[in-house]
Structure 1
Amino acid sequence: MSRTARIFLVMIAAIAIPASCALALGFRLRESKEELNLKYDVSVYDHNTGRVTVTFTLKDEGRLKPISSVDLHISSDEQHDSGGFKSDLTMSMALREVEGNQVARIHIRKDWAERAEIQIKTGHLDGKQEPLTWYYHAVPLKDLVSRAERFKTVE
């Protein structure tokens, strides 16, 4: 291998290795939705089929503006080697504008919804951005699922 080719490979490695190690850190915000000036509603509708429909309506992004995503996160009961918990599913919920609000809906199994939380994610807090840092506000669904409005059959 020529000297030029070796130098080229070393340069590529010097760029690629640090880039792969630069992971962003995510922090769960412990403040309440009122303290974060967030305005949102979450409703759960039980279809009596073992599935529920979760509707998330974001009215005001508050101190988290701009929101980067709203995700549904279903945690696993399993713990991994580093002490944290595994995720069975994390997916972005597609927001669409309805009457000036951002609305997302998802139809999932009821037992999954009981383990799930909605995560409102941002790279900003109070208009400030830290490099390689993101934040999220979690909305657990367990209590909402247990109090869900149920489908009623007409007799």
Structure 2
Amino acid sequence: MAVTHVAPAVRQERAAVDSQIAEAVCALLLRGDRIAAGERFAEIVERHQRRATRIAYYYLRDPAEVDEAVQDAFLKAFVNIRSFRERLYFELWFTRILVNGCLDRVKSRARRNRWIVSAGEYDAGRECRADLDRRAALEPSAEAPLLQ
């Protein structure tokens, strides 16, 4: 994979365009025009979709979960676009939203996996229970004299 260098001037120009689009989305939302705001935000999605997918895949390694995480991050960015500050780079703001969402998913997956019993563990538990039942049947019960 070839590494391409983006000149600082180009990077600043991209950041300025992103900030302008984000500010336009904010203005449209303030006017109550959610449809136009969504259309303008779609430009941001188009500009950042590939990069967001690469970042999410780095953390999650599951294509289905990556798609969900990226979609959730864009939705969260749209809903919270008013908290975006123009003096910041939109790309950094959005990336922080995405990475935090990915880390939350990784933690959630770890919590779920902690409680999942593998088939081998389940079979071993059943065999252990059956063995205990056999032993109990062979040994005289302490309650047997009381029951007679």
TM-score by length of 1: 0.25
More strand per residue: 1 or 2? Answer: 1
More helix per residue: 1 or 2? Answer: 2
